[in-house]
Structure 1
Amino acid sequence: MAAPGALPAAAAADTCDEGPVVCALQAADDAFYIYVLFALLIAVGLYFTIRTRAVQFRHFGTMLSTIASSRAGAAGGISSFQAFAVGLAARVGIGNVAGVALAIVAGGPGALFWMWVVALIGMATSFIESTLAQIFKERGRDFTFQGGPAYYIKNGLRSRTWGAVFAVMCIVSVGVTVVMVQTNSLAQVLGATVVSIKPWMVGAALVVLTGPIVLGGLKWVARVTEVVAPLMALVYVLVTAVVIVLNSGDLPRVLGEVLRGALGVDQALYGVSGGIVAAVLNGVRRGLFSNEAGLGTVPNAAGTATVAHPVRQGLIQSFGVFVDTIVVCTATGLLILLATGTYRPGDDRLVGAVLTQRAVVEHLGEWTVWPMVVLIFVLVFSTVLGCYSYSQVNVNFLGGERRAEQAFGLLLTAAAYAGTVLTLPAVWALTDIALGLLGLINLVAIVRLGPWALGALHDFEAQAARGVAEPVFIGHGNPLLPGDTVEGVWEAPPADGAPGAGGAVGRA
């Protein structure tokens, strides 16, 4: 998922031609991000990096081993890997194809470096928010759980009102408007690439694919995304690997351009605003909204998993930030920067996904046009499924039963179609602002609830230090926690080893 805006406030104001209302929204949007949200997201990421003693680096090996064993132990619910795949599906979307291209055009090659920096910092934030989603989750239906910011605001901060505010904003922004702008981008890209494809055709295809899956509920979405999301990311990275091998001689040059651009050495050459400021602003903005760390979206998926310890899911979702930015966004950046016949510094005639696609064509030939069309389609399709999962958790928080879930599934499917056939400049700006407000609420919540996640981390590490192969979390009477977790979740398993309150033995 990526925020619509790409330029610094001044640049956006100079280039806006959408009318006074939309331009005012875009100006407010840029000012809010640059002067408020950016600073908070980075500050919170640094704060949790320090408080966790750089958990994202110390436990990177644990992340990999956890991923390898994360498909088991769901006890009839949603597995840890499925929750990771849902988060990855929403993270790895058209923003990874179009957003990186926009950042490089606007901020130069140095923007890619700053995307790396905010991803490495944001991994700590993602760990905290996803761990909290597990700590404060509640039991749902059919052996599933429900968790996320709305739940940890209600159960941790004891404010159902603010939990409900977050839930409503998440449903409207992520479940409707984000879906519309994603599919709108898809229709525009496909229309510019293959003129025979009409917007309504794209919308109809999305309806046929999306409708039956989302009407099946969270389990169906999890089953589809655990296959689609990792597969599409793997295919995209393999394409990039082929390009890098074919252009290995140019790789030192490209990496040098990235570092020089990041430090402002080549500031006369890059970015619409020029210099290190453009590189930082565009790299940070695109990085933050590609990996979603701190926005409060991914925890909605993280809280649905059945795991033995909250820290396991926190580590897995933190790894998702790494995959999104360090792997997939880097893949896009290198594709573009290695395409000397397609990308030239300061040339903004080709932008977004079109630039990325033309770079692939330059490297591998015209035959790649249709495979890239299919890949971009699948990227958006999987993001729509991820948006459904995030929003559905919040529908349930507000008391929605099975009929409400199905009604929302129909609404999301309609939004997916509408986005392909409507012009949405105002919706893009409003979506950006709504996501930013979600992030603001979430950041306040996770900073206040940080001691819970830090206590869980200490608990996990203490068990691992004692040689426990699979640490099990006990949320009641745990001296490392500020209090007890929700009733019915995370109690100690019975001494006889029979299934207890957590579902499977030692599982919550």
Structure 2
Amino acid sequence: MVRMGNIISFVNEILWERNILVWMLIGAGLFFSVKTKFVQLRLFKHMLSLVRENNEEKSQGITSFQAFCISTASRVGAGNLVGVVAAVSIGGAGSIFWMWVMAVIGSASAFAETVLAIIYRGKTKDGKYVGGPAFFLDKGLGKKWLGVLFVMSALICWAGVMQVVSNSVTESFKVAFGIDQLTVTMILIVLTGVVIFGKRDKISMLLSKLVPLMSALYLLVVLFIVIKNINLIPGLMTEIVSQALGIKQAVGGSLGAVIMIGIKRGLFSNEAGSGSAPSAAASADVDHPVKQGLLQALGVFVDTILICSATAFVMLLADIDKTNLTGMEFLQESFRYHVGDWGVIFIALILFLFSFSTVLGIMFYAKNNIMFLSERDIFQNMFKILVLVMLFQGGIQRNLFIWSLADFGIGLMTVINLIGIVLLSKEVKGCLENYEGNLLKKQKMGKTKITI
């Protein structure tokens, strides 16, 4: 165990402490932004139209909107709350600006990995679509061993994330309601167990309803707070930009830290480039890979530009003593300042919904990735049991080794995924050119369906 711990610590130090992973993600995002001529901006209006497209019941997979909701569910999670709190606490208002910048850059990577997941996906015995980085590493590069390594890294990461999510929920409920952690943990385990031991379709249907509801509810309360403080918004926006590019920070030597904190939180809250979201996107029954790629790029904007910004605005507009406030307490006290004591309860409930949706989204990811190794139900059930164990363990106490293991898993899977999408970048560019060519024809001929 000691030797394993040393190995994990060594890898985490290289990838995280020395910012190697951050620079790889930045490089990949810029690479695909240039290669696609900034498709995430050029076709943004078209992205929105795809969300409104008819999403009827699909015979061979989930709808594109359900796939969008599943990946958004895992993105819009505890990280949007706790992660942004950390960014603002350490990096100040300026870190939010760099989160926005990385949302734009990272969405290009999200687009690329999703397109490849659709191109190289396969089918299960019952005719359902299944795919993800493991599949395009195998079929596209002929490196099955690399696909297996990706799956193992992803499962390690997701199992560890379960503990982090559970711990965040139980601590927030203890603060808001005074309920002991064991009780909240058991409630979370029971709800999760009921859903994950059901059909995969149950997860997609639940998330397609839960994600829009919880996001709308959260944004509605934040909109009220923003309108209530509308006279402070111009000053807040000025503060965000000035701190992001400010001379004061540069002279003090803290500008680099502000930029790096914002970049880290932006990249790792929206998962762009990590290879997670394509595992859900590949299940969508769409008539062209680019359609789903654009929807996943939009998911990055929803996560960072909307949800993360909303969280930051609430904290930055709160006139409270932030000296001794950390973690969820900082956010809960900010909501208390704006809307009263019920704000503390509201955040606890929202965090529960965000976290529950994250758990279900990850379970969908895991199911697709385990199918790359085997379609036998025993392996699916073993992971489900492991998830419930991790939820229990994380709910009652923190385990720093498991948290480090989760960092190790996501770091390794991200490196593997980035290698794959860069090596297959010609496929992405060719697919995009095909789509835009057909889109132009469709506009001229009045047709609605695009095929590849």
User: What TM-score, normalized to structure 1?
Assistant: 0.84
Task: Provide the residue aligned with 1:367 in structure 2.
Answer: 342
Distance apart, 1:71 and its partner CA: 2.2
1:200-211 alignment runs, 5 A limit: 200-211=182-193
Counterpart in 2 of 1:377? 352
**Residues 24 and 110 of structure 1, relative CA distance in 2, 3 Å threshold:** farther
* Alpha-carbon spacing, 1:470–1:156, altered in 2? closer, same or farther (3 Å): farther
Residue 319 of structure 2 is aligned to residue 340 of structure 1:
yes
Residue 158 of structure 1 aligns with an amino acid whose one-letter code is G
**What aligned pairs does 1:292-311 form with structure 2 within 5 A after superposition?**
292-311=271-290
Residues 53-98 of structure 1: per-residue CA shift (max 9 Å, x gap) = 1100111011101011152262352111111111010001111011
Which segments of structure 1 move beyond 6 Å, counting only runs of 4 or more? 21-27
The CA distance in 2 between the partners of 1:82 and 1:258, in whole Å, is 34
CA contact (8 A) 1:100 1:352 kept: no
> Alpha-carbon deviation of 1:30?
5.0
Gaps in structure 2 of 5+ consecutive residues:
none
1:355 aligns with 2:334: no
Write the letter of the residue equivalent to 1:422. Answer: Q
How far apart are residue 24 of structure 1 and its match? Answer: 9.9
Identity of aligned residues (%): 35
Match of 1:32 among 8, 11, 15: 15
Q: Point out where structure 1 has 5 or more consecutive residues left out of the alignment.
A: 1-18, 475-508
| Other-structure match for 1:284 | 263
**Residue of 144, 148, 156 corresponding to 1:164:** 148
Aligned equivalent of 1:92: 76
Task: Report the residue type matching 2:391 in the other structure.
Answer: A
Cα pair 2:138 2:146 within 8 Å, conserved: yes
Shift of 1:138: 0.4
Structure 1 counterpart of 2:172: 189
- Deviations 1:458-498, CA, capped at 9 Å, x for gaps: 11101111126344443xxxxxxxxxxxxxxxxxxxxxxxx
Q: 1:360 to 1:60 in 2, by over 3 A?
A: same
Match runs of 1:410-421 below 5 Å: 410-421=385-396
2: distance between equivalents of 1:71 and 1:467? 20
Partner AA of 2:396 in structure 1: V
Compared with structure 1, are the counterparts of its residues 160 and 113 closer, same or farther at alpha carbon in structure 2 (3 Å cutoff)? same
- What is the distance in 1 between the residues matched to 2:423 and 2:56? 33
Deviations 1:378-430 (A, max 9, x none): 11111011111111111111013234323322222222222101321122122
Q: 1:98–1:351: 8 Å Cα contact kept in structure 2? A: no
- Residue of structure 2 equivalent to 1:261: 243
2:414 alignment partner, one of 434, 439, 452 = 439
Q: Does the C-alpha gap of structure 1 residues 361 and 296 become closer, same or farther in structure 2, counting only changes over 3 Å? A: same
- Relative contact order, CA 8 A, sep 6+: which one is greater? 2
The normalised TM-score by structure 2 is 0.94
Counterpart CA distance in 2 for 1:322 and 1:208 is 32
SS at match of 1:77: coil
Contact 1:361 1:367 in 2 (8 A): yes
The equivalences for 1:59-70 within 5 A come to: 59-69=43-53
8 A Cα contact 1:70 1:81, kept in partner: no
**Is 2:132 aligned against 1:148?**
yes
> Match for 2:305 among 313, 326, 350?
326
* Greater alpha carbon shift after TM alignment, 463-472 vs 391-400: 463-472
Q: Of 379, 397, 404, which aligns to 1:429?
A: 404
CA shift, 1:266, in A, is 4.0
Offset of residue 133 of structure 1: 0.6
CA contact (8 A) 1:88 1:230 kept: no
